[in-house]
Structure 1
Amino acid sequence: MENHCIIRHLAETFSGVLTIDLLRYLVGAGGVFLIVNLALAARLYTRKIRPDTPPLSQIRREILVSLRTVLVFTLTGTLIALGAEAGIIPIYTEIGSYGWTYLVFSTVVLIVAHDAWFYWSHRMLHYPPLFRRFHRLHHRSYNPTPFTSYSFDLGEAVTNAIYLPLILLVVPAHPVAILIFVTHMMLRNAIGHSGYELFPANRHGKPLFGWMTTVTHHDLHHAHSGYNLGLYFSWWDRVMGTEHPDYHTEFRKVAHATP
Protein backbone atom coordinates (compact mmCIF):
# COMPACT_ATOMS: atom_id res chain seq x y z
CA MET A 1 0.00 0.00 0.00
CA GLU A 2 2.85 2.37 0.87
CA ASN A 3 4.61 1.68 -2.46
CA HIS A 4 1.35 2.39 -4.28
CA CYS A 5 1.08 5.78 -2.54
CA ILE A 6 4.66 6.65 -3.43
CA ILE A 7 4.15 5.75 -7.09
CA ARG A 8 0.91 7.75 -7.19
CA HIS A 9 2.64 10.76 -5.61
CA LEU A 10 5.49 10.54 -8.13
CA ALA A 11 3.01 10.31 -11.00
CA GLU A 12 0.99 13.27 -9.72
CA THR A 13 4.11 15.38 -9.23
CA PHE A 14 5.47 14.51 -12.67
CA SER A 15 2.15 15.17 -14.42
CA GLY A 16 1.76 18.51 -12.64
CA VAL A 17 5.25 19.67 -13.59
CA LEU A 18 4.76 18.38 -17.15
CA THR A 19 1.56 20.40 -17.53
CA ILE A 20 3.29 23.58 -16.34
CA ASP A 21 6.40 23.07 -18.50
CA LEU A 22 4.38 22.20 -21.59
CA LEU A 23 2.10 25.21 -21.16
CA ARG A 24 5.11 27.47 -20.63
CA TYR A 25 6.58 26.38 -23.96
CA LEU A 26 3.32 26.45 -25.91
CA VAL A 27 2.16 29.78 -24.47
CA GLY A 28 5.63 31.36 -24.49
CA ALA A 29 6.94 30.26 -27.88
CA GLY A 30 3.48 30.00 -29.44
CA GLY A 31 2.38 33.35 -28.03
CA VAL A 32 5.46 35.16 -29.32
CA PHE A 33 5.01 33.51 -32.72
CA LEU A 34 1.33 34.48 -32.93
CA ILE A 35 1.92 38.06 -31.83
CA VAL A 36 5.26 38.91 -33.47
CA ASN A 37 5.54 36.60 -36.47
CA LEU A 38 1.86 36.65 -37.47
CA ALA A 39 -0.27 39.43 -35.96
CA LEU A 40 2.38 42.19 -36.07
CA ALA A 41 4.42 40.92 -39.02
CA ALA A 42 3.10 43.59 -41.42
CA ARG A 43 3.79 46.43 -38.98
CA LEU A 44 7.23 45.08 -38.14
CA TYR A 45 8.30 44.27 -41.70
CA THR A 46 11.13 46.85 -41.69
CA ARG A 47 12.46 45.24 -38.51
CA LYS A 48 12.59 41.75 -40.01
CA ILE A 49 16.20 40.57 -39.84
CA ARG A 50 16.12 37.96 -42.64
CA PRO A 51 14.24 38.52 -45.91
CA ASP A 52 13.03 34.91 -46.16
CA THR A 53 10.53 33.13 -43.91
CA PRO A 54 11.32 29.76 -42.28
CA PRO A 55 9.42 26.86 -43.89
CA LEU A 56 6.62 25.05 -42.10
CA SER A 57 8.67 21.84 -42.15
CA GLN A 58 11.26 23.54 -39.93
CA ILE A 59 8.60 24.71 -37.47
CA ARG A 60 7.10 21.21 -37.27
CA ARG A 61 10.54 19.75 -36.55
CA GLU A 62 11.23 22.38 -33.89
CA ILE A 63 7.95 21.70 -32.08
CA LEU A 64 8.41 17.93 -32.12
CA VAL A 65 11.99 18.16 -30.85
CA SER A 66 10.92 20.70 -28.22
CA LEU A 67 8.47 18.19 -26.74
CA ARG A 68 11.46 16.03 -25.82
CA THR A 69 13.11 19.06 -24.20
CA VAL A 70 9.93 19.68 -22.22
CA LEU A 71 10.16 16.09 -20.91
CA VAL A 72 13.78 16.65 -19.86
CA PHE A 73 12.82 19.88 -18.08
CA THR A 74 9.91 18.04 -16.46
CA LEU A 75 12.25 15.40 -15.04
CA THR A 76 14.48 18.03 -13.43
CA GLY A 77 11.43 19.96 -12.24
CA THR A 78 10.12 16.80 -10.61
CA LEU A 79 13.48 16.28 -8.90
CA ILE A 80 13.33 19.85 -7.61
CA ALA A 81 9.84 19.31 -6.21
CA LEU A 82 10.81 16.04 -4.53
CA GLY A 83 14.07 17.54 -3.28
CA ALA A 84 12.16 20.43 -1.73
CA GLU A 85 9.77 17.99 -0.02
CA ALA A 86 12.73 16.08 1.37
CA GLY A 87 14.40 19.25 2.63
CA ILE A 88 17.38 18.82 0.31
CA ILE A 89 16.59 21.80 -1.93
CA PRO A 90 15.86 24.93 0.16
CA ILE A 91 12.66 26.26 -1.39
CA TYR A 92 10.72 28.33 1.15
CA THR A 93 7.04 29.24 0.91
CA GLU A 94 6.77 32.20 3.30
CA ILE A 95 8.22 35.42 1.88
CA GLY A 96 8.61 36.72 5.41
CA SER A 97 11.15 33.97 6.11
CA TYR A 98 13.78 35.88 4.11
CA GLY A 99 12.06 39.17 3.31
CA TRP A 100 11.19 41.05 0.12
CA THR A 101 14.73 42.31 -0.43
CA TYR A 102 16.04 38.76 -0.55
CA LEU A 103 13.21 37.75 -2.90
CA VAL A 104 14.36 40.38 -5.41
CA PHE A 105 18.03 39.53 -4.82
CA SER A 106 17.53 35.79 -5.32
CA THR A 107 15.54 36.38 -8.52
CA VAL A 108 18.35 38.52 -9.93
CA VAL A 109 20.93 35.91 -8.90
CA LEU A 110 18.98 33.13 -10.67
CA ILE A 111 18.90 35.15 -13.90
CA VAL A 112 22.47 36.49 -13.83
CA ALA A 113 23.98 33.14 -12.83
CA HIS A 114 21.97 31.43 -15.57
CA ASP A 115 23.40 33.81 -18.14
CA ALA A 116 26.90 32.83 -17.04
CA TRP A 117 25.98 29.13 -17.07
CA PHE A 118 24.51 29.48 -20.53
CA TYR A 119 27.46 31.39 -21.99
CA TRP A 120 30.11 28.93 -20.82
CA SER A 121 28.12 25.76 -21.45
CA HIS A 122 27.10 27.15 -24.85
CA ARG A 123 30.71 27.91 -25.66
CA MET A 124 31.65 24.38 -24.63
CA LEU A 125 28.96 22.94 -26.90
CA HIS A 126 30.52 24.77 -29.84
CA TYR A 127 33.72 22.75 -29.40
CA PRO A 128 33.59 20.73 -32.68
CA PRO A 129 33.40 17.18 -31.23
CA LEU A 130 30.64 18.26 -28.81
CA PHE A 131 28.86 20.41 -31.38
CA ARG A 132 28.25 17.47 -33.69
CA ARG A 133 26.67 15.38 -30.93
CA PHE A 134 24.98 17.92 -28.68
CA HIS A 135 24.28 21.20 -30.47
CA ARG A 136 23.99 20.69 -34.24
CA LEU A 137 20.23 20.19 -34.17
CA HIS A 138 19.62 23.67 -32.74
CA HIS A 139 21.67 25.20 -35.56
CA ARG A 140 19.68 23.38 -38.22
CA SER A 141 17.34 26.30 -37.63
CA TYR A 142 19.64 28.66 -39.52
CA ASN A 143 16.76 31.12 -39.79
CA PRO A 144 15.18 30.67 -36.33
CA THR A 145 11.61 31.02 -35.09
CA PRO A 146 10.27 31.33 -31.53
CA PHE A 147 9.79 27.55 -31.56
CA THR A 148 13.58 27.16 -31.98
CA SER A 149 13.92 28.17 -28.34
CA TYR A 150 13.57 24.55 -27.10
CA SER A 151 14.80 22.76 -30.24
CA PHE A 152 17.74 20.97 -28.60
CA ASP A 153 19.66 17.76 -28.96
CA LEU A 154 19.17 15.58 -25.89
CA GLY A 155 22.60 16.45 -24.48
CA GLU A 156 21.96 20.17 -24.83
CA ALA A 157 18.54 19.83 -23.19
CA VAL A 158 20.15 18.10 -20.19
CA THR A 159 22.88 20.75 -20.00
CA ASN A 160 20.26 23.49 -19.86
CA ALA A 161 17.97 21.60 -17.49
CA ILE A 162 20.47 20.83 -14.71
CA TYR A 163 21.21 24.49 -14.03
CA LEU A 164 18.11 25.13 -11.93
CA PRO A 165 18.40 22.23 -9.46
CA LEU A 166 22.11 22.98 -9.03
CA ILE A 167 21.66 26.69 -8.32
CA LEU A 168 18.74 26.00 -5.97
CA LEU A 169 21.01 23.82 -3.84
CA VAL A 170 22.99 26.93 -2.88
CA VAL A 171 20.46 29.77 -3.36
CA PRO A 172 17.28 29.34 -1.32
CA ALA A 173 14.37 30.55 -3.45
CA HIS A 174 10.67 31.28 -3.15
CA PRO A 175 8.31 29.83 -5.81
CA VAL A 176 7.66 33.41 -7.00
CA ALA A 177 11.37 33.88 -7.75
CA ILE A 178 11.46 30.56 -9.62
CA LEU A 179 8.33 31.49 -11.57
CA ILE A 180 9.80 34.85 -12.60
CA PHE A 181 13.05 33.15 -13.60
CA VAL A 182 11.49 30.45 -15.80
CA THR A 183 9.01 32.91 -17.36
CA HIS A 184 11.81 35.36 -18.16
CA MET A 185 13.91 32.52 -19.57
CA MET A 186 11.12 31.34 -21.87
CA LEU A 187 10.12 34.78 -23.14
CA ARG A 188 13.66 36.05 -23.71
CA ASN A 189 14.49 32.82 -25.50
CA ALA A 190 11.41 32.95 -27.73
CA ILE A 191 11.83 36.66 -28.50
CA GLY A 192 15.52 36.17 -29.26
CA HIS A 193 14.60 33.63 -31.93
CA SER A 194 11.67 35.59 -33.39
CA GLY A 195 13.57 37.10 -36.34
CA TYR A 196 12.24 40.64 -35.73
CA GLU A 197 14.28 43.26 -33.90
CA LEU A 198 12.07 44.31 -30.99
CA PHE A 199 14.63 46.16 -28.90
CA PRO A 200 14.90 49.96 -29.18
CA ALA A 201 17.87 51.90 -30.51
CA ASN A 202 19.36 55.11 -29.15
CA ARG A 203 19.84 58.20 -31.33
CA HIS A 204 23.12 56.78 -32.62
CA GLY A 205 21.47 53.57 -33.82
CA LYS A 206 23.04 51.40 -31.13
CA PRO A 207 21.03 49.24 -28.69
CA LEU A 208 19.42 51.49 -26.08
CA PHE A 209 20.13 48.83 -23.47
CA GLY A 210 23.63 47.87 -24.58
CA TRP A 211 24.10 45.39 -21.75
CA MET A 212 21.23 43.24 -23.01
CA THR A 213 21.29 40.86 -25.94
CA THR A 214 18.95 41.94 -28.73
CA VAL A 215 17.19 39.79 -31.32
CA THR A 216 19.86 40.76 -33.87
CA HIS A 217 22.53 39.69 -31.39
CA HIS A 218 21.26 36.11 -31.20
CA ASP A 219 20.18 35.98 -34.83
CA LEU A 220 23.80 36.64 -35.79
CA HIS A 221 24.75 33.62 -33.71
CA HIS A 222 22.55 31.41 -35.89
CA ALA A 223 24.14 32.97 -38.99
CA HIS A 224 27.74 32.89 -37.65
CA SER A 225 27.81 30.30 -34.89
CA GLY A 226 31.17 31.21 -33.37
CA TYR A 227 29.91 34.59 -32.20
CA ASN A 228 27.34 36.01 -29.77
CA LEU A 229 27.09 33.13 -27.32
CA GLY A 230 25.29 35.01 -24.54
CA LEU A 231 21.63 34.57 -23.64
CA TYR A 232 20.38 37.62 -21.72
CA PHE A 233 23.37 39.93 -21.41
CA SER A 234 26.13 40.99 -23.78
CA TRP A 235 28.93 41.41 -21.25
CA TRP A 236 30.41 37.89 -21.49
CA ASP A 237 30.72 38.22 -25.28
CA ARG A 238 32.37 41.61 -24.89
CA VAL A 239 34.81 40.51 -22.20
CA MET A 240 35.72 37.27 -23.99
CA GLY A 241 35.91 38.79 -27.48
CA THR A 242 33.11 36.67 -28.94
CA GLU A 243 30.76 39.47 -29.97
CA HIS A 244 30.31 39.63 -33.76
CA PRO A 245 32.31 42.59 -35.18
CA ASP A 246 29.36 43.66 -37.36
CA TYR A 247 26.76 43.40 -34.60
CA HIS A 248 26.04 47.12 -34.25
CA THR A 249 25.99 47.60 -38.01
CA GLU A 250 23.46 44.81 -38.45
CA PHE A 251 21.40 46.06 -35.51
CA ARG A 252 21.28 49.57 -36.97
CA LYS A 253 19.90 48.27 -40.27
CA VAL A 254 16.70 47.01 -38.69
CA ALA A 255 16.35 48.85 -35.37
CA HIS A 256 16.53 52.32 -36.93
CA ALA A 257 13.98 51.56 -39.63
CA THR A 258 10.52 53.03 -39.19
CA PRO A 259 7.47 51.03 -40.30
Structure 2
Amino acid sequence: MAGFAHWLLYHRKPASLSIRKDIHLSILSTGVFALATAVIMTLHEQGWTKLHSQIRPETWWYLPLSYLAVLLLQDAYFYATHRLFHHPRLFVWMHQGHHLSRQPTPWTSFAFDPLEAVVQALFLIGVVMLIPLHFVTLLAVLTTMTVWAVVNHLGLEVLPLHFPHHWLGRWLIGPAHHSIHHRRHGKHFGLYFTFWDRVFGSEDPAYAASLQPAAEVRPGT
Protein backbone atom coordinates (compact mmCIF):
# COMPACT_ATOMS: atom_id res chain seq x y z
CA MET A 1 0.00 0.00 0.00
CA ALA A 2 2.72 2.47 0.94
CA GLY A 3 4.81 1.64 -2.12
CA PHE A 4 1.84 1.99 -4.48
CA ALA A 5 0.76 5.31 -2.96
CA HIS A 6 4.31 6.63 -3.11
CA TRP A 7 4.72 5.56 -6.74
CA LEU A 8 1.38 7.14 -7.63
CA LEU A 9 1.91 10.48 -5.91
CA TYR A 10 5.66 10.93 -5.46
CA HIS A 11 7.18 9.03 -8.38
CA ARG A 12 8.59 12.22 -9.92
CA LYS A 13 10.55 13.10 -6.80
CA PRO A 14 13.90 11.49 -5.94
CA ALA A 15 13.93 9.33 -2.83
CA SER A 16 15.33 11.35 0.06
CA LEU A 17 17.43 10.01 2.93
CA SER A 18 14.42 10.23 5.26
CA ILE A 19 12.35 8.09 2.86
CA ARG A 20 15.10 5.46 2.74
CA LYS A 21 15.11 5.38 6.54
CA ASP A 22 11.30 5.09 6.55
CA ILE A 23 11.51 2.12 4.18
CA HIS A 24 14.10 0.47 6.41
CA LEU A 25 11.94 0.87 9.52
CA SER A 26 8.85 -0.26 7.59
CA ILE A 27 10.59 -3.50 6.64
CA LEU A 28 11.46 -4.11 10.30
CA SER A 29 7.87 -3.36 11.31
CA THR A 30 6.61 -5.76 8.67
CA GLY A 31 8.69 -8.48 10.27
CA VAL A 32 7.23 -7.69 13.70
CA PHE A 33 3.64 -7.79 12.43
CA ALA A 34 4.35 -10.98 10.49
CA LEU A 35 5.62 -12.56 13.70
CA ALA A 36 2.48 -11.35 15.50
CA THR A 37 0.38 -12.98 12.78
CA ALA A 38 2.23 -16.26 13.29
CA VAL A 39 1.60 -16.00 17.03
CA ILE A 40 -2.11 -15.38 16.44
CA MET A 41 -2.44 -18.36 14.11
CA THR A 42 -0.55 -20.59 16.55
CA LEU A 43 -2.75 -19.48 19.44
CA HIS A 44 -5.82 -20.09 17.27
CA GLU A 45 -4.70 -23.62 16.44
CA GLN A 46 -4.34 -24.24 20.18
CA GLY A 47 -7.86 -22.94 20.76
CA TRP A 48 -6.72 -19.90 22.76
CA THR A 49 -8.27 -17.19 20.57
CA LYS A 50 -11.88 -16.23 19.96
CA LEU A 51 -11.54 -16.09 16.19
CA HIS A 52 -14.20 -18.02 14.31
CA SER A 53 -15.48 -18.56 10.78
CA GLN A 54 -19.20 -19.09 11.35
CA ILE A 55 -21.92 -16.58 10.52
CA ARG A 56 -25.43 -17.21 11.78
CA PRO A 57 -28.35 -15.35 10.18
CA GLU A 58 -29.63 -14.23 13.57
CA THR A 59 -26.29 -12.74 14.61
CA TRP A 60 -25.17 -11.02 11.39
CA TRP A 61 -25.44 -7.66 13.18
CA TYR A 62 -22.46 -8.63 15.32
CA LEU A 63 -20.06 -8.33 12.36
CA PRO A 64 -20.32 -4.53 11.94
CA LEU A 65 -20.69 -4.04 15.69
CA SER A 66 -17.51 -5.96 16.50
CA TYR A 67 -15.68 -4.18 13.67
CA LEU A 68 -16.58 -0.77 15.09
CA ALA A 69 -15.79 -1.91 18.64
CA VAL A 70 -12.28 -2.99 17.66
CA LEU A 71 -11.63 0.30 15.86
CA LEU A 72 -12.75 2.26 18.93
CA LEU A 73 -10.58 0.15 21.22
CA GLN A 74 -7.60 0.39 18.90
CA ASP A 75 -8.03 4.14 18.63
CA ALA A 76 -8.00 4.52 22.44
CA TYR A 77 -5.02 2.14 22.78
CA PHE A 78 -3.08 3.94 20.07
CA TYR A 79 -3.76 7.36 21.57
CA ALA A 80 -2.58 6.26 25.02
CA THR A 81 0.57 4.48 23.82
CA HIS A 82 1.38 7.12 21.20
CA ARG A 83 1.20 9.92 23.75
CA LEU A 84 3.24 7.85 26.20
CA PHE A 85 5.94 7.29 23.58
CA HIS A 86 6.37 11.05 23.31
CA HIS A 87 7.61 11.20 26.89
CA PRO A 88 11.25 12.34 26.72
CA ARG A 89 12.48 9.17 28.43
CA LEU A 90 10.73 6.90 25.93
CA PHE A 91 10.79 8.92 22.72
CA VAL A 92 14.35 8.01 21.67
CA TRP A 93 13.74 4.29 22.16
CA MET A 94 10.13 3.94 21.07
CA HIS A 95 9.13 6.62 18.57
CA GLN A 96 11.98 8.74 17.28
CA GLY A 97 12.30 6.77 14.06
CA HIS A 98 8.76 7.66 13.01
CA HIS A 99 9.56 11.36 13.28
CA LEU A 100 12.65 11.30 11.11
CA SER A 101 10.30 12.59 8.40
CA ARG A 102 9.08 16.06 9.29
CA GLN A 103 7.05 15.96 6.09
CA PRO A 104 5.39 12.51 6.08
CA THR A 105 5.06 10.33 3.00
CA PRO A 106 3.24 7.00 2.53
CA TRP A 107 6.42 5.21 3.57
CA THR A 108 6.16 6.89 6.98
CA SER A 109 2.89 5.04 7.65
CA PHE A 110 4.49 1.99 9.29
CA ALA A 111 7.95 3.37 9.91
CA PHE A 112 7.88 2.28 13.54
CA ASP A 113 10.81 1.70 15.80
CA PRO A 114 10.87 -2.07 16.51
CA LEU A 115 9.75 -1.66 20.13
CA GLU A 116 6.81 0.52 19.06
CA ALA A 117 5.85 -2.05 16.44
CA VAL A 118 5.83 -4.73 19.14
CA VAL A 119 3.52 -2.65 21.35
CA GLN A 120 1.08 -2.05 18.49
CA ALA A 121 1.18 -5.70 17.44
CA LEU A 122 0.38 -6.76 21.01
CA PHE A 123 -3.00 -5.06 20.66
CA LEU A 124 -3.93 -7.36 17.78
CA ILE A 125 -2.85 -10.42 19.75
CA GLY A 126 -4.80 -9.29 22.80
CA VAL A 127 -7.98 -8.38 20.95
CA VAL A 128 -8.37 -11.78 19.26
CA MET A 129 -7.98 -13.47 22.64
CA LEU A 130 -10.57 -11.30 24.38
CA ILE A 131 -13.25 -10.47 21.80
CA PRO A 132 -15.09 -12.99 19.59
CA LEU A 133 -14.24 -11.97 16.03
CA HIS A 134 -14.98 -13.44 12.65
CA PHE A 135 -11.95 -13.80 10.40
CA VAL A 136 -13.61 -11.37 7.96
CA THR A 137 -13.89 -8.78 10.73
CA LEU A 138 -10.21 -9.14 11.60
CA LEU A 139 -9.30 -8.78 7.94
CA ALA A 140 -11.48 -5.67 7.67
CA VAL A 141 -9.76 -4.15 10.72
CA LEU A 142 -6.29 -4.85 9.32
CA THR A 143 -7.26 -3.42 5.93
CA THR A 144 -8.71 -0.29 7.54
CA MET A 145 -5.60 0.14 9.68
CA THR A 146 -3.32 -0.11 6.65
CA VAL A 147 -5.30 2.15 4.31
CA TRP A 148 -5.97 4.72 7.03
CA ALA A 149 -2.29 4.89 7.99
CA VAL A 150 -1.24 5.47 4.38
CA VAL A 151 -3.89 8.13 3.77
CA ASN A 152 -2.99 9.97 6.97
CA HIS A 153 0.64 10.17 5.85
CA LEU A 154 0.02 11.50 2.35
CA GLY A 155 1.16 14.92 3.50
CA LEU A 156 -0.10 18.40 2.78
CA GLU A 157 1.89 18.77 -0.41
CA VAL A 158 -0.18 16.08 -2.09
CA LEU A 159 -3.60 16.41 -0.46
CA PRO A 160 -5.13 19.89 -0.08
CA LEU A 161 -6.56 21.26 3.17
CA HIS A 162 -10.22 20.86 2.17
CA PHE A 163 -10.91 17.89 4.42
CA PRO A 164 -10.88 19.72 7.78
CA HIS A 165 -13.67 21.98 6.54
CA HIS A 166 -15.88 19.01 5.76
CA TRP A 167 -18.17 17.79 8.55
CA LEU A 168 -16.25 14.52 8.63
CA GLY A 169 -13.17 16.51 9.58
CA ARG A 170 -14.70 17.12 12.98
CA TRP A 171 -14.64 13.43 13.82
CA LEU A 172 -12.19 11.60 11.55
CA ILE A 173 -8.44 12.03 11.36
CA GLY A 174 -7.09 12.86 7.92
CA PRO A 175 -3.73 13.87 6.43
CA ALA A 176 -4.11 17.53 7.43
CA HIS A 177 -4.76 16.52 11.03
CA HIS A 178 -1.82 14.11 11.24
CA SER A 179 0.62 16.33 9.33
CA ILE A 180 0.33 18.80 12.20
CA HIS A 181 1.58 16.08 14.54
CA HIS A 182 4.76 15.71 12.50
CA ARG A 183 5.36 19.45 12.89
CA ARG A 184 4.15 19.83 16.48
CA HIS A 185 4.92 16.65 18.40
CA GLY A 186 2.72 17.59 21.33
CA LYS A 187 -0.47 17.67 19.28
CA HIS A 188 -2.74 15.15 17.54
CA PHE A 189 -2.02 11.66 18.87
CA GLY A 190 -5.13 9.84 17.60
CA LEU A 191 -5.40 7.14 14.96
CA TYR A 192 -8.93 7.16 13.53
CA PHE A 193 -11.01 9.67 15.46
CA THR A 194 -10.41 13.16 16.86
CA PHE A 195 -12.34 12.33 20.05
CA TRP A 196 -9.41 11.66 22.39
CA ASP A 197 -7.44 14.68 21.21
CA ARG A 198 -10.45 16.82 22.06
CA VAL A 199 -11.06 15.22 25.43
CA PHE A 200 -7.45 15.49 26.61
CA GLY A 201 -6.69 18.88 25.06
CA SER A 202 -4.13 17.72 22.53
CA GLU A 203 -5.95 19.08 19.49
CA ASP A 204 -4.17 22.00 17.86
CA PRO A 205 -6.19 25.22 18.42
CA ALA A 206 -5.58 26.38 14.85
CA TYR A 207 -6.94 23.12 13.48
CA ALA A 208 -9.97 23.33 15.76
CA ALA A 209 -10.62 26.87 14.56
CA SER A 210 -10.42 25.75 10.93
CA LEU A 211 -13.38 23.43 11.56
CA GLN A 212 -15.70 26.34 12.25
CA PRO A 213 -17.97 27.25 9.33
CA ALA A 214 -17.22 30.60 7.75
CA ALA A 215 -20.56 31.96 8.96
CA GLU A 216 -19.50 31.41 12.57
CA VAL A 217 -16.31 33.43 12.27
CA ARG A 218 -16.87 36.96 13.50
CA PRO A 219 -15.11 39.96 11.97
CA GLY A 220 -11.91 40.79 13.78
CA THR A 221 -11.50 37.27 15.30
What interval of TM-score do these two structures reach, taking the shorter chain for normalisation? 0.7 to 0.9
Q: 1:197, 1:98 → 2: CA distance? A: 43
**Aligned residues between the structures:** 209
Residue 180, structure 1, aligned to residue 153, structure 2: no
Q: What's the RMSD between the two structures over aligned residues?
A: 2.2
Partner in structure 1 of residue 119 of structure 2: 159
Corresponding residue of 1:33: 6
Q: For residue 208 of structure 1, what is the aligned residue in structure 2?
A: 167
Q: Structure 2 length normalisation: TM-score?
A: 0.87
Relative distance call for 1:250 and 1:63 in structure 2 (3 A) is farther
The equivalent residue for 1:243 is: 203
Query: Aligned equivalents of 2:58 and 2:141: distance in 1?
Result: 18
- Gap runs ≥5 in structure 1: 1-27, 40-52, 253-259
Residues 210-240 of structure 1 show CA distances to partners (whole Å, capped at 9, x for unaligned) of: 1101211100000000000001100000010
1:149 aligns with 2:101: no
> Residue 86 of structure 1: which of 12, 36, 46 is its match?
46
Aligned in 2, Cα 1:218/1:130: closer, same or farther, shift over 3 Å? same
> Structure 1-normalised TM-score?
0.75
CA distance in 2, matches of 1:207, 1:116: 23
Report if the CA contact (8 A) 1:216-1:251 is conserved: no
Post-superposition CA distance 1:33-81 (Å, at most 9, x none)? 2334459xxxxxxxxxxxxx78522222111111110111011111111
Q: How far off is 1:199 after superposition? A: 7.6
Q: Partner residue of 1:218?
A: 178
Deviations 1:72-126 (A, max 9, x none): 1011111111111111001101122883111111111111111011000001101
Contact preservation (8 Å) 1:30, 1:147? yes
Distance 1:34 1:99, change over 3 A: farther
Pair 97,117 (structure 1): closer, same or farther in 2 beyond 3 Å: farther
* 2:30 corresponds to 1:70: yes
Residue by residue over 1:156-195, the C-alpha shift from the partner in whole angstroms, topping out at 9 and shown as x without a partner, is: 1111111011111111111110111011101110110111
Counterpart CA distance in 2 for 1:225 and 1:54 is: 26
Does 2:68 correspond to 1:108?
A: yes
Native 8 Å contact 1:90 1:168 kept in 2? yes
Q: Residues of 2 paired with 1:169 and 1:133: CA distance?
A: 28
Moved more, 177-186 or 90-99: 90-99
The one-letter amino acid of 2:176's match is: T
CA contact (8 A) 1:230 1:237 kept: yes
Native 8 Å contact 1:199 1:207 kept in 2? no
Contact 1:54 1:144 in 2 (8 A): no
Gaps of 5+ in 2: 213-221
1:50 alignment counterpart = none
Give, in whole Å, the separation in 2 of the partners of 1:199 and 1:87.
48
- The residue aligned with 1:128 is 88
The answer to whether the 8 A contact 2:165-2:210 is kept is: no
Percent identity between the two aligned chains:
33
CA distance in 2, matches of 1:36, 1:248: 28
